[in-house]
Amino acid sequence: MAESLRIWFLASEVAPFAKTGGLADVAGSLPGALKKLGMDVRVGLPYYRMVKEGGFSVRKVLEGLEVPLGDRVLRGNVLETTTEEGIPVYLFARDDLFDRPYLYSTPKGDYPDNLERFTYLSRAAILFAKQAGLDFDLIHCHDWQTGLIPAYLKTLYRADSFFSRAASVFTIHNLGYQGLFPQDKLPICGLPASEFHPEGLEYWGQISLLKAGIMYADAITTVSPRYSQEIQTPEFGLGMDGTLRKRSADLYGILNGADYHVWDPARDVHVPANYSPGKMAGKRRCKESLIQEMGLEPSLRKSPLLGMISRLDFQKGLDLLVQILDEVLALDVGLVVLGSGDERIQKAIQAAAERHPGHVGLEIDFNEPLAHRIMAGADMFLVPSRYEPCGLTQIYALKYGTVPIVRATGGLDDTIQAFDPKSGKGTGFKFVPYEPKALLDQIKKAVKTYHNGSAWGKVVKNGMKADFSWDESARKYVLLYKKVKKGNKMETRG
């Protein structure tokens, strides 16, 4: 058995407890894969309303944890639950901060006190570890919501012997969310003013919690090799490319894995019929049932059905789809879209969908079971993102025999091979320029291939055979943990 490291794993969303996107899928499945490799993992997240109402069995493990926040000291309880794999999950409760209908933002915009909310989480995670004697070798934090943790370890708690062995790894799931707040809010974080400079957490006169994670962590990872390169360039760096280039010696790209306990058509509990590569009749039933559920014309049974499941966000390329929707539907296809998020994007897609009753099924909601039914019932899956750190839906789509049509960027480019009808190799369709016509051309190509039964059979099968399970990626994380843990870690700051 490999040397067991104690990992304290902090994220702002963890499936199945709380989810808005791929971070939750990763934080919900990577710990189990690490445990299989002998790691001793504990997970922490806020006790949101979504967790409270999720029917999980929880017990209180600490009452009245005292957490400094600006000039106040907040007291909050810590609850515990466990995952199916027996991993302890700690929930930081503070109803004024977390008992709300959404995790980060309403459809109209961010909660105004997100700095207070996630400073609380970050500081509570450290203080709870000490108070509960939860000794750890390494803290693995994710995205801006936990970016202060590496900064605390390198500043406020640097001299505290309890944390003397604690190294930190910070994973960027999406560089587009930078945790930016005005400089005058620095006292909320409790960090000394001397840390507010461009080599610390200052980003052009503002506080950036993402930058704090990048600058103070012992190692930084992002969720695909391609994205780890892209984010060091001005085109994809969203203003952080210089910072990332400074840390490039400690920056790694490790591809996300898929949790096939949850995302596998052969055992999916949400779909009307199960299927596998040798037994595809179930997929036809899933398609028929989806057509009926979404109120589409029954005749679409014989036509290609396109699916899309997405946060409604500028990143996701829905504007491309809206611009070509009339031409796409002229190809005699059906379209099913499930999305939630930005109100303006929602209105644009609603207006376009209303022009095509019976051919477009649109559901504005966050609906996990429906996401599974679309994965299984569609023939093709659209991911036309502007940028995509890894992307999980295209990976799930492969397993469901739902052929991805993606933009060749970030993890989409790493995970999908363009189908070549001559060699019969490849798993999907890809376009490069961020232009409506480029997407339309690939949809046309996919539709043409669909009508050529044997070529379609090949691309479907190639995708279903591809393996993106966590094992290999989890092994890469373990190697990295060993490299950065104290004793043989490289000192990166101060």
CB count in 10 Å sphere of residue 355? 11
Stretch that binds ligand ADP, among 127-135, 240-248, 282-290, 362-370 (CB under 6 A): 362-370
Q: Strand 403-407 to strand 380-383: parallel, antiparallel, or no bridges (unpaired)? A: parallel
The residues near 319 (Cβ < 8 Å, ≥ 6 apart) are 345, 348
Cα separations in angstroms, 112 against 70, 182, 277, 321, 323: 16, 12, 48, 32, 33
- In the region spanning residues 2 to 31, those forming contacts with ligand ADP, defined by CB under 6 A, are 21-23, 25
Is the CB of 88 or the CB of 107 nearer to ligand ADP?
107
Task: Extract the tokens encoding 240.
Answer: 């952080």
Is the CB of 338 or the CB of 352 nearer to ligand ADP?
338
Contact 483/442 with Cβ under 8 angstroms? Answer: no
Burial of 374 by CB count in 10 Å (0-12 exposed, 13-18 middle, 19+ buried)? buried
With CB atoms as reference, the residue minimizing the distance to ligand ADP is 22
- In the region spanning residues 382 to 411, those forming contacts with ligand ADP, defined by CB under 6 A, are 390-393
Contact 29/477 with Cβ under 8 angstroms? Answer: no
- In the region spanning residues 281 to 320, those forming contacts with ligand ADP, defined by CB under 6 A, are 309-311
Rg over CA atoms, the chain: 23
Interface with ligand ADP (CB under 6 A), residue total 18
- Whole-angstrom distance, CA of residue 425 vs CA of residue 280: 20
Report the SS3 class of residue 216: helix
Stretch that binds ligand ADP, among 108-116, 365-373, 399-407, 413-421 (CB under 6 A): 365-373
Q: Give the shortest CB-392-to-ligand ADP separation in angstroms.
A: 4
Per-residue contact string for residues 324-343; x = within reach of ligand ADP by CB under 6 A:
--------------xxx---
Task: Extract the tokens encoding 330.
Answer: 């002229």
Q: Which of 9, 47, 90, 366 binds ligand ADP (CB under 6 A)?
A: 366
Q: Which of 325, 371, 403, 447 binds ligand ADP (CB under 6 A)?
A: 371
Q: Give the shortest CB-404-to-ligand ADP separation in angstroms.
A: 11
Contact 91/45 with Cβ under 8 angstroms? Answer: yes
Q: How many C-alpha atoms does 10 have within 13 Å on its Cβ side? A: 31
Contact 10/44 with Cβ under 8 angstroms? Answer: yes
Q: Which of 77, 131, 289, 367 binds ligand ADP (CB under 6 A)?
A: 367
- Whole-angstrom distance, CA of residue 58 vs CA of residue 403: 40
The dihedral built from the CA positions of residue 239, 244, 246 and 248, taken in this order, carries a sign that is negative
Is the CB of 136 or the CB of 396 nearer to ligand ADP?
396
Stretch that binds ligand ADP, among 100-108, 123-131, 296-304, 367-375 (CB under 6 A): 367-375
Contact 313/345 with Cβ under 8 angstroms? Answer: yes
Is the CB of 20 or the CB of 206 nearer to ligand ADP?
20
Q: Strand 251-253 to strand 305-312: parallel, antiparallel, or no bridges (unpaired)? A: unpaired
Is the CB of 213 or the CB of 317 nearer to ligand ADP?
317
Q: Give the shortest CB-27-to-ligand ADP separation in angstroms.
A: 11
Q: Give the shortest CB-270-to-ligand ADP separation in angstroms.
A: 11
Is the CB of 21 or the CB of 304 nearer to ligand ADP?
21
Measuring CA to CA, which residue among 350, 285, 324 is closest to residue 442?
324
Q: Give the shortest CB-141-to-ligand ADP separation in angstroms.
A: 17
Is the CB of 22 or the CB of 190 nearer to ligand ADP?
22
Is the CB of 29 or the CB of 81 nearer to ligand ADP?
29
Q: How many residues does the chain have?
A: 494
Q: Give the shortest CB-316-to-ligand ADP separation in angstroms.
A: 7
Q: Give the shortest CB-221-to-ligand ADP separation in angstroms.
A: 15
User: Which stretches of the chain bind ligand ADP, using CB under 6 A?
Assistant: 21-23, 25, 309-311, 338-340, 366-368, 371, 390-393
